[in-house]
Amino acid sequence: MFDYRFYQDLDLGDIYRKVQAGRRLDLEDGLKLFSCQDIVAIGAMAHKVRTHLHGDVAYYVMNQHINYSNICVNGCRFCAFGKQQGDPLAFELSLQAILEKVRARGNAPLTEVHIVGGCHPELRLSFFEGLLRELKAQHPSIIIKAFTAVEIDHFARNEDISTRDVLVRLKAAGLDMLPGGGAEIFSPRVRALLCPEKTAGEDWLKIACEAHQLGIRTNATMLYGHIETIEERLEHLVALRELQDETGGFLCFIPLPFQTANSGLTGIEPTTGIEDLKTMAVSRLMLDNVPHVKAYWIMLTVKLAQLALLFGADDFDGTVIEEKIGRMAGAESGQALTRSDLERIIREGGFEPVERNSFFERVHES
């Protein structure tokens, strides 16, 4: 829509040509995009790529989030969700309680449950295997997207087996897909300061790679807007892109703005709307081999998520019943959007709403 000359005036002529030709952007290009003040110009470029990939479709999913426990041995500085065992606010759900939550949705046509929790010191792998088997038995058509690479790593330590073996066992029990959480920012510098106990960036990538090799698709996230530099954001994107070249296993990338309100980090200002949209757009432009980019409305706010569809995102996530992690961090969005809300917001943004399942396959109304 905007032409070469327009971008040349912004010193983005070369980048525009690369994007036009479908050539890969390098880290320097990413820095240039981030430093450009014209957010509409960057958004238009990302929108072009997004439209080339997905037309005027914007996806959503009918899903339920379940956080099985907030008890966590990791103590990441940025987390408002994790609690130590014995903390009065600590909780853990029994198998029955989890099953009841899914059952309680009654006739809601869920296609996905998204299950994640803290790195619980005592819950055994057999508990999770049992959970997956029960869920599959009771809801054979629901796709189970569960356990971040960080939880997989934790289970392996607890059981004293390899992460690959954990994945094999969970897959056999019914695990369909891994969500993309726990990636944060891969930079060892940032992780040493923010989450020294957590799975290292390279291990996160290794576990994602193992999952892909076992035929388990995964998503990938990036938590930005805390102490990381722009270079570290771009290195994160490039690391994902490199692994994706090898495996092709990532389905969707999800940039998550850090929620400052209730975290243990002080002196950090929340991300602004322009920063969120710029990060969305640059992610779309850098990740040329990842099919989908998600506007996760729980963290972005519904308003900004709608705009994000014009800045590179093609997915609006879902109805997300009962999400706790972003909520406890101070994210202000409501707990759930109904299907008609989601469809209206997408349509008013100028897009055709399409219900998908976890694998981004269209769900046809029966």
Partner 1 sequence: MMHLKKIIGKVHFRARLDFDEALALYQQADFHLLGQLAHGVRLQKHPEPLVSYVVDRNINYSNVCICGCRFCAFYRPPGHPEAYVLTREDLVRKIEETISLGGTQILMQGGHHPDLPLAFYEDMLRFIKSRFRIHIHAFSPPEIVHFAKLEETDPAEVISRLRRAGLDSIPGGGAEILVDEVRDSVSPNKCSAQAWLQVMEEAHRQGLRTTATMMFGHEEEPGHRIAHLLALRDLQDRTGGFTAFIPWPFQPTNTAIPRSPETPVAYLRLLAVSRIVLDNFDNIQASWVTMGPKVAQLALHFGANDFGSTMIEENVVAAAGVHFRLSVSEIRRLIRYAGFQARQRTMAYEWVGDTEMGGHGDGETRR
Residue 194 interacts with partner 1 (CB under 8 A)?
no
Candidates 103, 157, 344, 362; binder of partner 1 (CB under 8 A) is 344
Angle, nearest 10°, between helix axes 13-21 and 39-54? 10
Q: Which amino acid is at 5?
A: R
1 is a contact residue toward partner 1 (CB under 8 A): yes
Q: Which CA distances in Å does 179 have to 41, 45, 116, 263?
A: 31, 28, 8, 22
Among 7, 25, 29, 43, binds partner 1 (CB under 8 A): 43
Find all residues with CB under 8 Å of 260, minimum gap 6, and list them.
268, 269, 270, 330
Does residue number 274 form part of the binding site for partner 1 (CB under 8 A)?
yes
Q: Which of 10, 44, 161, 168 binds partner 1 (CB under 8 A)?
A: 44
Tell me if 272 contacts partner 1 by CB under 8 A. Answer: yes
Q: Which of 30, 312, 349, 353 binds partner 1 (CB under 8 A)?
A: 349
Q: Taking the complex as a whole, how short is the minimal distance between the CB of residue 142 and partner 1, in angstroms? A: 29
Positions in 22-41 near partner 1 (CB under 8 A): 37-41
Q: Is 303 in the site for partner 1 (CB under 8 A)?
A: yes
Q: Rule CB under 8 A: which of 212-231 touch partner 1? A: 229-230
**CB closer to partner 1, 2 vs 359:** 2
| 8 A C-beta contact, residue 220 and residue 290 | yes
Q: Is 276 in the site for partner 1 (CB under 8 A)?
A: yes
Ordered alpha helix ranges (H), the chain: 4-9, 13-21, 27-35, 39-54, 95-104, 125-138, 149-159, 163-173, 188-194, 201-213, 230-247, 273-286, 297-300, 302-308, 325-328, 339-348
Q: Are 93 and 141 in contact (CB under 8 A)?
A: no
Q: Is 80 exposed, middle or buried (0-12, 13-18, 19+ CB in 10 A)?
A: buried
Based on its alpha-carbon atoms, the radius of gyration of the chain, rounded to whole angstroms, reads 20
- For residue 297, which amino acid is it? W
Size of the site for partner 1 (CB under 8 A): 31
Asked whether position 8 contacts partner 1 by CB under 8 A, the answer is: no
Edge to edge, what strands does the sheet with 57-61 contain? Answer: 315-318, 57-61, 352-356
Q: Are 342 and 316 in contact (CB under 8 A)?
A: yes
> Is residue 334 involved in binding partner 1 (CB under 8 A)?
no
What Cα–Cα distance (Å) separates residue 175 from each residue in 132, 180, 269, 319?
7, 14, 38, 21
Of 43-51, 203-211, 248-256, 283-291, the window that binds partner 1 (rule: CB under 8 A) is: 43-51
Which C-beta is closer to partner 1: that of 150 or that of 310? 310
Q: Is 306 in the site for partner 1 (CB under 8 A)?
A: yes
* Other beta carbons within 10 Å of 286: 25
- Which residue among 267, 348, 364, 366 contacts partner 1 (CB under 8 A)? 348
| 269 sits near partner 1 (criterion: CB under 8 A) | yes
- Least separation in angstroms between residue 43's CB and partner 1 is 6
Cβ distance to partner 1 smaller for residue 43 or 174: 43
Q: Which residues bind partner 1 (CB under 8 A)?
A: 1-2, 37-41, 43-44, 47, 229-230, 269, 272-277, 301, 303-304, 306-307, 310, 341, 344-345, 348-350
